[in-house]
Chain A
Amino acid sequence: MSLRLRLVATLGITLMLLWGLTAAWSMRDLSTQLDRSLDQRLAQSARMVAGLLDRVPASAWNGEAGEISTIPPLKGIACRVSSLRGQVVAGTHPEMNDVLAVDDEGYHYRDYDGQRWRVYTLVDDDKRITVADRLRERAALLDQVRRAAFYPFLLASIGSLIALWWGVTRGLSPLSRLQRRLMSRDHDDLSALPIRSLPGEIRPLIDGFNILLARTRRMLALEQRFTDDAAHELRTPLTAIRTHLQIARRVNGDPRREAMQQAEAGVERLTKTLDQLLLLARMESDEITRGSVNPTRLGEALEAAMVETGSRDRCHWHASVERLHVALSRELLVIALRNLLENAMRHGSPDTLIEIEAHETNGMAVIDLVNQGETIPPEQIARLTERFHRGNHPQGSGLGLSIVEAIATRAGGSVRLASGDGIGLRVTLSLPLA
């Protein structure tokens, strides 16, 4: 149900009900008042007749019995004057004599010929005066009054409903404008909605909406960049493979061998990038959960990682590394360490040692891995864990540090990177102790 319809219906029905009740109440009051004043007039007219009769000599109706003065009748009004003994002296409707023969003083109802009459009897000294009103005349009068009051009421009601509709429409016009603006937007338009000229009630709503839009824009941009990066990382080795294979088909001897080698190197690189991408994806899904894992001895994992990367000759580690047990599966710990070692080998100055040290702090195993090399500026440091960010080094997939970070975060630990003072890069990996 539209807001406008709901507002108009609620207000309109309430208004009509209130007005209807007021009208019914005043109509009821009106009919009581009218009855009372007509009754008073009836009594008044009886008294007036009595007053007039006082001036007529008593002999006029005490004398010869049977002489009835008949007054030409008026429609709906009757009058009868009689002696206390019941002899009619004067009257308007001789045929109604019986009906109007009321002994008791005061107001009564009488029926005659299917019509109801209001009767008033006044006893004055020696005569009885009875006056009567036909109720149909009274009802007609009340009807006329009611009708006269009803039409202005009807007009006013219709008028106020129209005014109500107009007012609500006007009041809701900022919403309508907003609706039109939203409808006319492209479905992929994520720009913020203008907040100016909006009423205070919907401003917080649009504010919230704009914040959501901004967040969506950022997410989409990130996703777009990731897609672009992934496309680049996967398609570049594919290009190398395809090109070298095509060359191999056309040449012979050494050039052919070389082209095949290049193609194989490309396959290897592509495989590695894919493996790392899949590992990251697995890390993001809940496939690898923290749960209960067998504690892994850091020394053992480091040994395995060094063997896999062939970096044992360049690593120098302190005995403290051996003892610590980490609450992380052996597989993931080896992957993390392997990535760090590969990174250090690739980016560290050749023939310098990679220093590895570990200690316990607040229930965490803190592993420091330091390689010598060029100092990396702080703004670059911040981007190192971004996916596919490779700095100035074209080798590698640019995913290594992202993977290490993902593993550490999963395990409830963290990765910190620092550079400077003759250190190429210091990676501090904190992992919960077993």
Chain B
Amino acid sequence: MRVLLVEDDPPVAAGVEAGLALSDFVVDIVTTLDDARGALAAIDYDAVVLDRRLPDGDGLTLLQQWRRAGVATPVLMLTARDAVASRVEGLQSGADDYLVKPFDLDELTARLQALLRRSAGQVDHFLRHGRLALDPVARIATLDGAPVVLVRRELMLLEALIRARGRILSADQLKDRLYSIDDEIESNALNVHIYQLRRKLGREAIETIRGVGYRLGALPVDGSHSGSTPS
């Protein structure tokens, strides 16, 4: 899951990035409203964590601009002001959630997960696709109820594909979900992860649509599968 963090204080930004990375979030950090505008225009983020007080203005102004422009990306606001009026103001301006500094890292993660779940229309926090289920909080994937051992990037890739709900995602879109702007990506890295996923979940788990991208294959509950399921 890729998150845009708009925060001008370097120690806080570094901490939040490191903390979210522990839950497999891919975080891009920008420090000004201008950069945030540019970043959101360039990359399709799953959520934005927006500090209110930034060097070039109030994060609230940017949020209002986004909402007026029809940007529906979930936004979680961060602020040092804990007055009820200012929280209400934030929520009314289009924020989906609000956290007062200093916040708990687990709470931030949980709230972000909840925002993502809500924007995906999920009921519980499990992501499901046929025989596949993924717990985005515990970072566990199961096939027919049995756990599948996946490394971090494989899990992130699977999560992106399940969240796409049958939509085809291009290689670039998938890379956006896996890597931040600062990560160095080897050219065949994505192919390696897709190969590994197919090996562990079965060949039909991921379909390649030539020249367009990838999507999850149908994994009907009763259907047979040829993949190996590690115990």
A-B contacts at CB below 8 angstroms, number: 72
Q: Are B102 and A247 in contact (CB under 8 A)?
A: no
**Is A237 part of the contact surface with B, judged by Cβ < 8 Å?**
yes
Contacts of A259 in B (CB 8 A): 15, 18
Q: Is A239 an interface residue (CB 8 A)?
A: yes
Say yes or no: B11 contacts A244, CB within 8 Å: yes
Q: Are B102's CB and A239's CB within 8 A?
A: yes
A363 touches B (CB below 8 Å): no
Q: Choose from A235, A246, A250, A262 the contact partner of B11 (Cβ within 8 Å).
A: A262
Are B12 and A236 within 8 A (Cβ)? yes
- Classify the interface of chain A: helix, strand, loop or mixed: helix
A240 touches B105 (CB 8 A): no
Question: Once bound together, how far apart are the Cα atoms of A269 and B12, in whole Å?
Answer: 12
- Size class of B's contact patch? 20 to 34
Given contacts A235-B101, A246-B104, A394-B10, contact A240 B15 (CB under 8 A): yes
Chain B residues closer than 8 Å to A266, beta-carbon distance: 11
Query: Is the pair B15, A262 in contact by a Cβ cutoff of 8 Å?
Result: yes
Is A247's CB under 8 angstroms from B22's CB?
yes
Question: Is B35 an interface residue when CB atoms closer than 8 A count as contact?
Answer: no
Contact among B18, B55, B80, B105 with A394 in the assembled complex (CB-CB below 8 Å): B55
Contacts of A3 in B (CB 8 A): none
Instruction: Give the complex CA separation of A239 and B9 in angstroms.
Output: 10
Please encode chain A, from 236 to 261, with 1 for each CB lying within 8 Å of some chain B CB and 0 for all others: 11111111101100110001000100
Determine whether B103 belongs to the interface, using a CB cutoff of 8 Å to chain A. yes
Q: Which one of B14, B15, B104, B105 has the greatest number of beta carbons of chain A within 10 Å?
A: B15
17 further A-B pairs in the complex, CB-CB below 8 A; given A231-B82, A242-B105, A243-B102: A228-B80, A232-B80, A235-B102, A236-B9, A236-B12, A238-B101, A240-B11, A240-B14, A240-B15, A242-B104, A244-B11, A246-B106, A250-B22, A251-B22, A262-B11, A265-B11, A269-B11
Mind listing 24 A-B residue pairs with CB under 8 Å? A231-B80, A232-B80, A235-B101, A235-B102, A236-B80, A236-B101, A239-B12, A240-B12, A240-B15, A241-B102, A243-B19, A243-B102, A243-B105, A244-B18, A246-B104, A246-B106, A247-B22, A250-B22, A251-B22, A259-B18, A392-B55, A394-B8, A394-B10, A394-B55
